[in-house]
Amino acid sequence: MSDNRWWRGAVIYQIYPRSFMDSDGDGVGDLPGIIDRLAHVASLGVDAIWISPFFRSPMADYGYDIADQCDVDPMFGTLADFDALLAKAHALGLKVMIDQVFSHTSDAHAWFEESRQSRDNPKANWYVWADAKPDGTPPNNWLSIFGGPAWRWDPRRCQYYLHNFLSSQPDLNFHNPDVQQATLDYVKFWLDRGVDGFRLDSINFCFHDAQLRDNPPKPEALRVGRGFAPDNPYAFQYHWYNNTQPENIGFLERLRALMDEYGDVAALGEISAEDSLATTAEYTSPGRLHMGYSFELLVDDFSAGYIRDTVERLEAAMTDGWPCWAISNHDVQRAVTRWGGAQPSDDFARQLVGLVCALRGSVCLYQGEELGLPEAEVPFEQLRDPYGIAFWPNFKGRDGCRTPMPWTASTGAGFTTGQPWLPIPDAHRALNVEAQSRDDGSVLAGVRRFLHWRRAQPALVTGTQCFVDAPEPVLAFVRGDSDDRVLAVFNLSEQALDWTLPAEFARLRVLDGHGLLAGVLDGDRVRLPPHAALFAAVD
């Protein structure tokens, strides 16, 4: 890839540090633990890592409630540990992206502790404060993603403050230029330290409607959300005013101008809006974010038609930007369970990685996807996620996808010598890295083969994409340009099937060695076992 564009077509491996590797036996993963296991990540054939928050935090939302953006929480190590991690990753050929949470802080942050003391201190206007209505109720009807009103009364100022997430995560006031500058200052702190980019959490939540207008109600039939629990009243509104405001564009352009001073770095925005695909396209226009991803493939719908429609709608809107796709992360049920049920096959687990990595764009793979880890069942009494605790039992929260990585079959799964912060299921220990590394037929072995094979296929890394008409459950598309085109065909079902190729594919040369269960080309027909794939060069 050309200079300053390493991120185009990159495979980015997400590390959730609490659950990756514990180096000191306290049951919580840490930065030295990541260093110890970076060789595993590099062996997969990925291009970069994205590390979820490791900054100082009270851990009410497990790191997404930040108390100091420029320091490492002692739970995870020190700044020296981060510098060592950065050096080790770069030595292994891995770029390093870190999470940044712009829209809110912890209520333990020094900025908020000062802001809440009075209405006239130097940081009084750094957060979103508003007077009560005459009857004492909150200033408008905005709701928190985590349930209930998005406003919390503070007796010091006798005002409400906004929190789009937990009440311990007050929203910053990005209409204040000082807040924008302070944000850019800590971005610069990490760029100066040598990071290669940022994953920007909830990037469309930075600005709120300055007039504090009520969100309109959403018809019951349309209360289907992205990334939040069923039965959550958050779905009862169109969120036109508490996020995704036009002023955010100017800030993104300031952020991009700063990052452009550093050359070979990238910004990846997480976007959850009323029309996430349109917002992703808008936010990745020239001079804004390098990449964007939304929750559209982090949902229950797994069909060829849905995947095609999602990708084509984004491609139609995103004429200049670059997409990034993910099917699992630290906030949603693991994909092999969400789409494959209680007992997903190894072929299915490998196919999912191959499918998402064959789409045009960059890719985020979540730790454990390379092992085919299913969602873990965490008993209520062992839940840590405040979201899951609040919405139990209809929604069990995010702990099931956050359980520690199984490195060995031992009691602590090679993750810790102590008591792990979340339980490690026996089914996960059976899928451990050590055992799968010895098995040439494992999910891990197949994923490694596919990712290394993909690197040698320029059409699959940066080529264009055009879908081919095919009946469910066949997903077919062509990647690449006129002189280098690859046809990719996936059987998304548990039944074998045949598909007659369109006449335009009369001359194909099957590509092998990709590590997925392979389909067979038989004349003008493709024979596909369950969850198989066929890749062929189009001559």
By annotation, the residues acting in catalysis are: 201, 261
User: Who contacts 158 (Cβ-Cβ below 8 Å, separation ≥6)?
Assistant: none
Sign of CA dihedral 491, 492, 494, 497: negative
Q: Which residue has the tokens 């800590």?
A: 186
The answer to whether the beta carbons of residues 266 and 196 sit under 8 Å apart is yes
Q: Is 266 exposed, middle or buried (0-12, 13-18, 19+ CB in 10 A)?
A: buried
Helices 346-358 + 443-455 axis angle, to 10: 20
Rg (CA), the chain: 23
User: Who contacts 406 (Cβ-Cβ below 8 Å, separation ≥6)?
Assistant: 371, 373, 413, 414, 415, 424, 428, 429, 430, 431, 432, 433
**DSSP state, residue 260:** H
Give 475's strand partners. 490
Q: Which of 8, 6, 2 is nearest to 284 (CA)?
A: 8
The answer to whether the beta carbons of residues 413 and 21 sit under 8 Å apart is no
